Amino acid sequence: MNKITTFFALAILSVNSYADQSDENWRVLLGSGQSHIGWGGTKESVKTYDFILQHETIKSSEKNSEYRKSFLFEVPVHIVRAPYSSYMTGVNVYHKWQLTSNDKVQPYALIGGGGLYTNANIPGTSSKIRGTYGAGLGLQLNINKDFNYSIETRFHHVSNGGIKTPNDPLNSHKVLIGFDIKI
């Protein structure tokens, strides 16, 4: 089974594990990122502006404990600003673990990945369809029941999953600020 099929099988299983949802949030994340030459085989420096629409489903059995687990479904749009202008967009799924013992400041960690389409012609990447995975750490800051925001940093990997050669990866860091929205 290739890497892309494995990823989508795990994503479907993850969605099913949250079928008993009792709470959900919508969030918009804004920020920027940059790949680093030499980091994990990265050969190109690519800078992005990032916009992510995120839906969080909180596992109901974890809602009132000291921590909670949630499932994130994201639609990212990465605007490549250097070395030239282009875009990347796709779908991500992440698992998030959040400490909830403090009402105002709640640290969290997340891990996941997804698929990505791009019109960027980055040397060594050879495919318009790519896979991504990432991990991050953040803080959710709860101002009041109607206004919450977050700040996080993520490691973000992009490659074509070995479906075509060459397959030079883009490994980058991102800094994102998120705001809950009512939909």
Structure tokens of 116? Answer: 């990505």
Which SS3 state, helix, strand or coil, does residue 10 take? helix
Domains of the chain in sequence order: 3-181 (2.40.160.20)
Pick from 178, 163, 175, 156: which is nearest to 36 by CA? 156
In contact, 24 and 56? CB cutoff 8 Å: yes
Pick from 57, 95, 93, 53: which is nearest to 75 by CA? 53
Sign of the dihedral defined by the CA atoms of residues 148, 151, 155, 156, in that order: positive
Per-residue pLDDT of the chain (183 residues; tens, 9 = 90+): 455 555 555 554 454 444 454 588 899 999 999 999 999 999 999 999 999 999 999 986 655 678 899 999 999 999 999 888 899 999 999 999 999 999 899 999 999 999 999 888 777 777 788 899 999 999 999 988 778 999 999 999 999 877 888 888 999 999 999 999 887
CA 6 → CA 65, 131, 159, 180, distances in Å? 32, 12, 15, 31
DSSP 8-state symbol, 5 = H
Q: Specify the amino acid at residue 127.
A: S
pTM: 0.85
Distance CA 16, CA 35 (A): 33
- pLDDT value at residue 129: 85
Q: Is the preceding peptide bond at 166 cis, omega within 30 degrees of 0?
A: yes
> Per residue, what are the HEC states of 45-81?
CCEEEEEEEEEEEECHHHCCCCEEEEEEEEEEEEEEE
Pick from 181, 128, 175, 169: which is nearest to 43 by CA? 169
Q: For the chain, what's the residue count?
A: 183
